[in-house]
């Protein structure tokens, strides 16, 4: 099961990210991972939260345009070549990675977690390819528990 | 759809002209006798009331413009004793000094008749509930439509502008069927109702009468869709009474000018020559029935076209196309004429809402044009490339419409201040004077 990532439209000017994190903090939402991409006048904040639907609705109420995007979460041992192994699997399956970002594990320190945005509707395919090679795929439930 | 004064609204052309001739002659005499300011202007042009035998001689009369109103402020154009006046109305003063217009009781009666014609042309009857969300007070919008609504016999809800929550509550609780306000406020009310989860079919409104600012055909379609109504345009100026100088019928193909009260001409704004029917130029009005504050050949600065083609609604009064914008709204950017309404058309055609602001500045002696438009939930995607592509398409669309390049900035929803009256679309930071 793919993880739901929240993508938020932000103006590229001082204070907008703070405004967003303020809403999340006030509503007691925990961010598990965050990535920002930007152009000169706007950006998109992409993040994984413990309670994705609550996060989406409180942001909408606060006037932040956002959408949910399915992404693939993978647990990677904190060893040399860990990411390389995952990308190799995706490459063999001819699955393109549009963007990705990493986050550190919560409970255990031996693993890092990566979030991959693969091509549209390719999440299931990517997940089964990874599982077949013994790579641990993270679910929304795992995220909430981290 | 009904008529408020069918006999005159659908009168044969000859009858209208005969009435105009008679009224114009009387008005010229009235002004000559009572307004020294205008009499002097006539004398300077060697014109006396004797030279005006019919509307064909209208072109001999001198023009009045905003400049005259400023010079003659406050009483210089008053044509009756102050004791005969019962009210003033005033403009917002956005383009300079406020205009103060005077009304006798009869002037108000005729003005309200004109507004009543507009309401009935939009399908209003005494069965309707008409919410007037134009500002009340000095602004003519509220008082004009309020009077028109009374004359038709509608149940009138005088909410005035502002307090959006209360507006929506009255529309729903009292089942308002007709809404009168500025188009930008109508769009805002629609947006708010949509956010509250109301579908167009849940909204009791069936028609809207929107005016007092320039709006595009695309914005009309947007408002009609969100509110589930038919949206009618109405036009007027405080100088000429207020809203109701002209109004749209169900054909929605231009606004019928109330020709029994206002004679319209189209002139070349530079040469001041009268242009033949069908040509685009500046709209000039002569008010032939107003007694307290009669405007003779008043230059509106509105650029538009007149047509006498037969209208399917049966009205015979000449129609004016939606003005492209007031000539004072026109921006000259890098030598090119740009109307905010053109920018609005492009935005709406590209799927954006009419929430935008135009910023003009001058950097290193070159004009810059920035268009800020709000991102909408419908257009947002997680893909940066797609958003950048949308932005490029919009820049391209603006270039082909305007002939110059604009910078487009996508801004957060609700970051552009909503207006309860006339929207502030343009911020010009050039220091040209």
pLDDT by residue for chain B (433 residues), tens digit each? 799 999 999 999 999 999 999 999 999 999 999 999 999 999 999 999 999 999 999 999 999 998 899 899 999 999 999 999 999 999 765 555 678 999 999 999 999 999 999 999 999 999 999 999 998 999 999 999 999 999 999 999 999 988 888 999 999 999 999 999 988 889 889 989 998 999 999 999 999 999 987 788 888 999 999 999 999 999 999 999 999 999 999 999 999 999 999 999 999 988 999 999 999 999 999 999 999 999 999 999 888 999 999 999 999 999 999 887 666 677 878 777 788 888 988 998 898 888 899 998 888 777 889 999 999 888 899 888 889 899 999 999 999 888 889 999 999 888 887 777 767 788 888 765 4
Q: Which of B376, B384, B411 is the closest to A39 by Cβ?
A: B384
* B199's tokens: 């579908």
Interchain CB contact of B359 with A (< 8 Å)? no
Please state whether A79 falls in left (phi above 0), alpha (psi between -120 and 50) or beta.
Answer: beta
Q: Which of B377, B383, B384 is the closest to A65 by Cβ?
A: B377
Mutation choice for B interface testing from A65, A71, A98, A123 by most B CBs within 10 A: A65
Q: Is the dihedral of CA B380, B382, B385, B386 positive or negative?
A: negative
| Alpha-carbon distance A45 to nearest alpha carbon in chain B (angstroms) | 9
CATH class of the domain comprising A71-145: alpha beta
Interchain CB contact of B75 with A (< 8 Å)? no
Interchain CB contact of B375 with A (< 8 Å)? yes
Are B168 and B37 found together in one domain? Answer: yes
Closest of A59, A7, A50 to residue A30, by C-alpha: A50
- With an 8 Å Cβ cutoff, are A67 and B375 in contact? no
Summarize the confidence of residues A29-49 as an average pLDDT: 90
- Taking CA–CA distances from B377, the nearest residue in chain A reads A65
What confidence score (pLDDT) does residue B403 get?
84
Q: How far apart are CA B380 and CA B357, in angstroms?
A: 19
Closest of B281, B256, B292, B323 to residue B122, by C-alpha: B256
Are B413 and B308 found together in one domain? Answer: no
Closest of B297, B295, B265 to residue B282, by C-alpha: B265
- For the segment A77-133, what is each residue's pLDDT rounded down to a tens digit? 778 888 899 999 999 999 999 999 987 665 566 778 889 999 888 899 999 999 998
Mapping DSSP to helix (H, G, I), strand (E, B) and coil, where does residue A88 land? helix
Chain B residues whose CB is inside 8 A of the A64 CB are: 412
| Alpha-carbon distance A108 to nearest alpha carbon in chain B (angstroms) | 31
Q: Among B303, B324, B345, which residue terminates a domain?
A: B324
> Please, what is the average pLDDT of chain A?
88
Chain B residues whose CB is inside 8 A of the A44 CB are: 382, 384, 387
What confidence score (pLDDT) does residue A104 get?
64
Are B47 and B182 found together in one domain? Answer: yes
Interchain CB contact of B314 with A (< 8 Å)? no
What confidence score (pLDDT) does residue A121 get?
85
Determine whether B31 is exposed, middle or buried from the number of CB atoms within 10 Å of its CB (0-12, 13-18, 19+).
buried
Give the rounded percent of residues in chain A with a pLDDT score beyond 90.
54
pTM score over 0.90: no
Would you give the end-to-end CA distance of chain B in angstroms?
A: 51
Q: Is the dihedral of CA B51, B55, B61, B64 positive or negative?
A: positive
ipTM of this complex prediction, to 2 decimal places: 0.81
- With an 8 Å Cβ cutoff, are B382 and A67 in contact? yes
Task: Provide φ and ψ at A127, rounded to 5°.
Answer: -65, -45
What confidence score (pLDDT) does residue B21 get?
97
Closest of A64, A77, A65, A71 to residue A49, by C-alpha: A71
Residue B4 lies in a domain: yes
Alpha helices in B79-137, H assignment, sequence order: 105-121
Yes or no: say if B144 and B243 are a contact pair by the CB < 8 Å rule: yes
Residue B433 lies in a domain: no
Are B217 and B243 found together in one domain? Answer: yes
List the domain range (segments joined by +) for residue B381: 331-428
Residue B88 lies in a domain: yes
CATH class of the domain comprising A3-69: alpha beta
Please state the domain extents for chain A: 3-69, 71-145
| Alpha-carbon distance A107 to nearest alpha carbon in chain B (angstroms) | 30
Q: What is the CATH number of the domain that holds B354?
A: 3.30.300.30
Residue B315 lies in a domain: yes
Are B320 and B360 found together in one domain? Answer: no
What confidence score (pLDDT) does residue B433 get?
45
């Amino acid at each position: 099961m793919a993880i739901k990532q929240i993508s938020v439209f932000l103006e590229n000017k001082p204070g907008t990210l703070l405004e967003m994190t303020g809403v999340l903090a006030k509503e007691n939402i925990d961010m598990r991972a965050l990535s920002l991409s930007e152009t000169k006048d706007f950006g998109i904040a992409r993040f994984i939260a413990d309670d994705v639907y609550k996060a989406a609705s409180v942001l909408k109420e606060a006037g932040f345009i956002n959408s949910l995007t399915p992404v693939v979460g993978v647990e990677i041992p904190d060893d040399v070549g860990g990411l390389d192994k995952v990308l190799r699997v995706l490459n063999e399956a001819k699955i393109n990675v549009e963007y990705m970002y990493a986050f550190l594990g919560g409970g255990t320190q031996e693993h890092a977690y990566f979030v991959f945005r693969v091509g549209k509707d390719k999440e299931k395919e990517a997940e089964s390819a990874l599982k077949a090679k013994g790579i641990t795929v993270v679910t929304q439930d795992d995220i909430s528990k981290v | 759809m009904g008529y408020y004064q069918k006999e005159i609204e659908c009168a044969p052309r000859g009858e209208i002209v005969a009435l105009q001739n008679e009224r114009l002659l009387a008005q010229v005499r009235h002004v000559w006798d009572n307004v020294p300011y205008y009499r002097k202007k006539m004398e300077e042009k060697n014109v006396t009331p004797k030279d005006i035998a019919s509307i064909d001689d209208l072109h001999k009369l001198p023009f009045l413009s905003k400049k005259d109103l400023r010079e003659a402020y406050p009483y210089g154009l008053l044509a009756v004793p102050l004791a005969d006046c019962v009210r003033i109305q005033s403009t917002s003063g956005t383009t300079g000094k406020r205009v103060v217009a005077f009304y006798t009781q009869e002037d108000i009666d005729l003005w309200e008749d004109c507004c009543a014609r507009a309401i009935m042309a939009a399908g209003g009857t005494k069965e309707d509930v008409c919410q007037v969300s134009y500002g009340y007070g000095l602004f003519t919008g509220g008082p004009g439509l309020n009077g028109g609504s009374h004359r038709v016999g509608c149940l009138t809800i005088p909410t005035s502008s502002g307090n959006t929550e209360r507006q929506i509550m009255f529309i729903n609780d009292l089942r308002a069927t007709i809404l009168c306000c500025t188009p930008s406020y109508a769009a805002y009310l629609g947006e708010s109702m949509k956010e509250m989860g109301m579908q167009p079919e849940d909204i009791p409104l069936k028609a809207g009468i929107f005016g007092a600012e320039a709006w595009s055909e695309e914005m009309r379609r947007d408002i009609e869709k969100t509110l589930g109504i038919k949206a009618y345009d109405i036009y007027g100026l405080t100088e000429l009474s207020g809203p109701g100088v002209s109004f749209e019928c169900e054909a929605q193909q231009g606004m019928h000018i109330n020709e029994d009260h206002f004679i319209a001409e189209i002139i070349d704004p530079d040469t001041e020559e009268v242009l033949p029917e069908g040509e685009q130029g500046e709209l000039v009005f002569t008010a032939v029935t107003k007694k307290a504050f009669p405007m003779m050949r008043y230059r509106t600065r509105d650029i538009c076209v007149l047509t006498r083609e037969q209208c399917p609604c049966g009205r015979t009064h000449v129609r004016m196309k939606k003005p492209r914008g007031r000539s004072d709204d026109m921006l000259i950017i890098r030598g090119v004429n740009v109307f905010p309404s053109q920018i609005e058309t492009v935005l709406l055609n590209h799927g954006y809402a009419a929430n935008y602001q135009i910023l003009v500045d001058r950097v290193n002696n070159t004009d810059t044009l920035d268009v800020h438009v709000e991102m909408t939930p419908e257009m947002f995607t997680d893909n940066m490339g797609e958003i950048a592509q949308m932005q490029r398409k919009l820049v391209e669309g603006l270039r082909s419409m305007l002939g110059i390049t604009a910078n487009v900035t996508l801004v957060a929803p609700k970051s552009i201040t909503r207006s309860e009256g006339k929207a502030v679309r343009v911020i010009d930071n050039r220091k040209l004077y």
